[in-house]
Structure 1
Amino acid sequence: MGDVLARALWERYEPVHDLVYFAPEAHSAADDLGLRGFWMGYFALRAAPLGPVTAPVVTGCFYVFHPDRVARALPDAWRYTTPADALAARLAAVDAAMRRLYGPDGVASGAMTEAADLAWEAALAADTAGRVLGAANQALDRPHQPHLRLWQALTTLREHRGDGHVAVLVAHGLGPVEAMVLKAAAGESDATLLRETRKWDLTAWQAAEEALRERGWLAGDGSLTGAGAAVHEEVEARTDAAAARPWKVLGEAAAARLADLLDPLARTVLDAGLVPPGNPAGLTGGPWESSRPAGG
């Protein structure tokens, strides 16, 4: 049941976390820090919990970005701001975005406080050995305001899951571009969007496609073979399993309750059109009934 909960909760917390990438308040916050362009803001705000790290560290942690994409942003971003100021700016941006989307009554509601406390408990239970981004976010101070406490807890859980996903990809011998080709072939994300935003050229993408064809995972028309679909399903299942501990510790009933509380928050973000179609996270914007936990 823990694996099912891990998938159900991810589908609900990913849209809320993604405000830090797609909400206009986040873009304005990065601009106000003096950061130059979307990608410098993205890398600085997301990597800020790690401290003033350099490009190779972030390239390793984030996994799917071409090193040149990261190197154009870091460490230059730390000439314009500090990790501490970036952390403050991202919370301020999320504060503004959540107040706009959910309204003053929503952020001050009992449901928001309940969700924040449940999510924080789950985030504290996240096993972070070998999970750099999860550990760095888990170590941050507990925000006083419930909606910010909720967002930070969900961010810890999201990065915890992402760290586990990278470990699964490495274990399957799937490099950054091969992982994205597999994801796109499974229909989770748009191939062109993935390749261009992660700054890989067509030659690298085609080489990854050929490598997957040689393994018998990709057909000539770019679709997954039966073996490739099985590998994709195994990667997702193992990612869910690696992300299950916080929900097992929280307990099935409490996790299902959190899923219910997050449901309208996630739908509001998706309905607002902030998360683009074919997004790299693989969010479809669907009703996700197939992963609804028992009692949810």
Structure 2
Amino acid sequence: MGSELDFGRRAEGKWYEISRRNARSVQTTVGWIFWDPGAVARYEAWGLDKVLAMPLGYIASRGAPLAPAGADTMIAAFGTISAVGIRLTFDLLKSPDAFREFWDMREEAIEEGLRRYAPGIVDPLCEMGPALWSVVDRLPLLGRPLFAATLSMPRPQSPLLSGWHAVNLLREWRGDTHWALVAAAGLTSSEASILHNEWLRYQDDWLSKSRGHTEDDIDEGWESLTRKGLATDRRVLPEGLRLRQRIEDLTDDRTVLPWQLLGERAAHEFAERFEPPCELLLSRVDETAGVQFQPASRVRARYEDGQD
């Protein structure tokens, strides 16, 4: 039997569409830094191997708020990111203080990179930052560990970095919500990566490999999806694609609250002001990582039954 999610859609149509639309700009405002050469160069200068600087630097900088809780907690919060990579990061960095160094290095690269590659985002972040923080401070913590841990970090004095962190917290709140839905569907990390890869129409387990899953992890994921009736012969069946689309729809539905708290007018203002510079940041991802990376920033059609 396949997994099902039957929570229903509750948000009014306009809020669902606002949530769905603004999710792209939230993701893009934050996600470009994961592959930014300025950040990666700092991680290398700290001492990470050139090959490992990007993936482990990402884990270290994003995971710094959770570092005191240990590798298992970070694995639980990071969804489909490789457990092997997270454990290796802990082995190399040794202490939460070292994770905090990566957080600080990322701060420098964020401010530098935004001003250089998407200067049009500077004013929106500075001007809308206080209103976004007002929203962040009212969001519920329940079931959202990465959001809660990140919220406890010191707030930057720089208006630009402060606005960026408010957006980052919206991203982490959405991410925690998404992974709660994945868990409610009974999916493992490997299964979720495989379903996502097929839903995106990517080939050859690309997404799983890009997130550090081993061949054994991927094989196990395919086998378990097959047992659940969601795949056969390393091909996801319509039932699996319907489940993945359902998770996406529910994620958009369950993350309307920040935009409702912000207000309809300001939520539309966010879309109008952030989308143009975010296209530049997405182009930056294309250059530094590739056109398949950061799929949450890409426009994609919904999966419909009967679709090839």
TM-score range, shorter chain: 0.7 to 0.9
Partner of 1:260: 272
> CA, structure 1 residues 257+218, in 2 after alignment: closer, same or farther (shift >3 Å)?
same
Instruction: Report the alpha carbon displacement of residue 220 of structure 1 after superposing the two structures with TM.
Output: 4.2
Partner of 1:6: 19
> In structure 2, the residue corresponding to 1:31 is in which secondary structure?
helix
Are residues 1:250 and 2:266 paired?
no
Identity fraction in percent: 24
Instruction: Give 1:79-118 correspondences, 5 Å limit.
Output: 82-103=98-119, 106=120, 109=123, 111-118=124-131
Q: Which contiguous aligned blocks of 4+ residues in structure 1 show a shift greater than 6 angstroms?
A: none
Partner of 2:11: none
Instruction: Report the alpha carbon displacement of residue 53 of structure 1 after superposing the two structures with TM.
Output: 4.0
Aligned with residue 60 of structure 1, among 69, 76, 86: 76
> CA, structure 1 residues 125+29, in 2 after alignment: closer, same or farther (shift >3 Å)?
farther
Partner of 2:199: 186
Task: Deviation per CA, 1:109-140: give whole Å up to 9, x if none.
Answer: 3x442232343233223222221111122223
Contact kept, 8 Å, 1:52 with 1:75, in 2: the verdict is no
Partner of 2:65: 49
State the alpha-carbon separation in 2 of the partners of residues 244 and 269 from structure 1. 24
Partner of 1:283: 297
Partner of 1:232: 244
State the alpha-carbon separation in 2 of the partners of residues 235 and 25 from structure 1. 34
Contact kept, 8 Å, 2:115 with 2:122, in 1: the verdict is no
State the alpha-carbon separation in 2 of the partners of residues 236 and 117 from structure 1. 29
Task: Deviation per CA, 1:146-185: give whole Å up to 9, x if none.
Answer: 3212211111111111111111011100100100111011
State the alpha-carbon separation in 2 of the partners of residues 49 and 124 from structure 1. 17
Aligned with residue 222 of structure 2, among 199, 209, 214: 209
TM-score of the superposed pair, with normalisation by structure 2? 0.82
Instruction: Give 1:116-155 correspondences, 5 Å limit.
Output: 116-155=129-168
TM-score of the superposed pair, with normalisation by structure 1? 0.85
State the alpha-carbon separation in 1 of the partners of residues 220 and 301 from structure 2. 37
Instruction: Report the alpha carbon displacement of residue 289 of structure 1 after superposing the two structures with TM.
Output: 11
> CA, structure 1 residues 123+188, in 2 after alignment: closer, same or farther (shift >3 Å)?
farther
Instruction: Report the alpha carbon displacement of residue 80 of structure 1 after superposing the two structures with TM.
Output: 9.6
State the alpha-carbon separation in 2 of the partners of residues 121 and 8 from structure 1. 21
State the alpha-carbon separation in 2 of the partners of residues 260 and 126 from structure 1. 23
Gaps of 5+ in 1: 291-296
Instruction: Report the alpha carbon displacement of residue 81 of structure 1 after superposing the two structures with TM.
Output: 5.2
> CA, structure 1 residues 180+51, in 2 after alignment: closer, same or farther (shift >3 Å)?
closer
Partner of 2:281: 269
Partner of 1:195: 208
- Cα RMSD of the aligned pairs, angstroms, is 2.6
Contact kept, 8 Å, 2:68 with 2:96, in 1: the verdict is no
State the alpha-carbon separation in 2 of the partners of residues 27 and 178 from structure 1. 30
State the alpha-carbon separation in 1 of the partners of residues 234 and 241 from structure 2. 14
> CA, structure 1 residues 280+205, in 2 after alignment: closer, same or farther (shift >3 Å)?
farther
State the alpha-carbon separation in 2 of the partners of residues 52 and 17 from structure 1. 23
